[in-house]
Structure 1
Amino acid sequence: MSQITVTEAVTQALAEEMRRDPRVVMFGEGVATKRTDLLNEFGPRRIRNTPLAEGIIAGTAAGAAATGLRPVVDLLFAPFLCFAMDEIVNSAGKLRYMSGGQFSFPMVVIAMTGGGWTIGAQHNHNLEAWFVHSPGLKVVMPSNAADFKGLLKAAIRDDNPVLFFVDMPLTHVPGEVPEDEHVVPLGKAAVAREGSDLTIVSYAKMVGTCIQAAGQLARSGISAEVIDLRSLKPLDEDAILRSVRKTGRLLVVHEAGRMCGVGAEISAIVAEHALTSLKAPVLRLTSPDTPAPSSYVLEQAFMPQVQDVVAAANKLMGRSQPHALEPEAQTV
């Protein structure tokens, strides 16, 4: 094991896959400038900067993937994906199916998302549910350095387009990463903390928030199990249902808005397949239905915090906690 940051884990994954497979190339907004080690090792033919033109970048990646390359593209901030929706959703996501499997589109689209850097609404918007809803795409949102490395390697090897979202505040967070070959399969959730009284399902940086909340809950006698989804599509339904059937209670926490979010899908899955196991209604804790503020104080209020998770968990357990906040917490 080695202690490295998320950014270093991503760079390791890219370097290892580029050494392993000469078809792997990377291009995008500032990639050669930010990743000089990769540029020096692999040269400008395999890692290069592009103009700030998201649609052209994504379209080039789709075409490159169709001809046999395995491109990784960096579009910087998630809201900029709006400029590349046709190329990602309407071309890369659909053409493998429309061609009857004659073509594959092994491309990875990296974009940063999530609050914590106070960069305002046009750079900070959690759009993951858009792409989960789009057929033919896979969606990944890791929470720690080891999973960033392992999931990126799996995404590069996959024959389908993968949206790889990087929660911005995690980029400089260190973590233990295996030094040998480390690949995390897409579609497999992880139990980040075991528990018996309620299940908390989350992803990206909210996993850390939920783990902290579970520690506080333990001190008051509540045993919370935290499930880190890691992949949003494919979604590990078995891991969610297994935990809910054990605990009988479910709290879903994510930074994206509540309406039609990932939490809504998880709630529906549990209602369809584990309703009789529930001891209380499913609860969702999300950010409000408003653009993200740029003020640090307002941004912190916008995102679910540890005390909000604790308050929601106490509500599920039938305990009152009158002084805790519950932004956009609503039973299903």
Structure 2
Amino acid sequence: MSPQGKERIKILLKTIVSVILMAWLVKTIEWGQIANLLRNARLSWLLLAFLFVIISVLVSAYKWQLICRASGLKCELKELWKIYWCGLFFNNFMPSSIGGDALRIYWAGRYTGDATGTGTSVVVERVLATVGLSFLGLLAAPLVQIQVPYLKAFFIAMILGSLFVLVLILSPLSLLMSRLFAGFPKVTALLNGLNTHGSRLRSQKGLIFMSLLWSVIFQFCVVMVNISILHAFCVDRIALLEACLIIPATSVAAMIPIGINGYGTREGAYAALFAYFGVNRAEAIAVSVVFALIVTISSLWGGWLWFRNEQNLKGQLFQAEA
């Protein structure tokens, strides 16, 4: 079977999983309550949610710039901001192998002239984002009266796993592996490049630490998007610290690659975790779906940037992925 055929089957299976999960969730909710929440939603709070999405993308672009700087790559914040928006658009509207990270690596690699360096920066940025959201959850856990079973252990496991991946990236392991693949020039060049950028990142611990702090700030912005939606629906049973505990866990659930763009898994996590704080299933799913819609609508700006400025890049990217 061709790669394109396998990709279509993969997307179909993910779509089926998302549909099944969503159908199972919505079967048990009261649609009248959903309609009432949406009908009475306060526009000012929804607009504030959009604003926090914009701020979160700016934060992400800035921490990515810090990682690029640590890796010796010169990137303007304005350019990374544009690339990040386009990556967000790809994540929401093109659920295939040509995802947002692939676009970011290709476009930033074309911009810097160093595909290996930009690829390393994207992976490191993703790893630090996972550490950041887990760290925010752990900070909030001791300050919340209602404890969710196993959630602290879950965050600790996420941090340890992410740090292990980060150590592998930053270690000289790639240099040792390059000797094993001495007969494969392309593989050797890739591993040597990873070692070069890993060495640079190791020497810039201050910038890496600052990137981690900005990762925590980014996750806090995601929390504020959700808090704004809760206020829009007049649901006040979840305080800010409680949201800092459970929203990072829902972000991890949305990363599980068994559905399309996190649909189904994210809603299930919202319903399960919000229930500990007295939020019913209908309210939790409404918040989750509106959160996803706000992010999706916001990402249309990235689509406009993509189709307006990068017509040539678009064809090259799809050709490279094929």
If each structure's strand is expressed as a fraction of its own residues, which one has the higher value?
A: 1
Q: 1 or 2 for the larger relative contact order (CA 8 Å, sep ≥6)? A: 2
If each structure's helix is expressed as a fraction of its own residues, which one has the higher value?
A: 2
* TM norm structure 2: 0.25
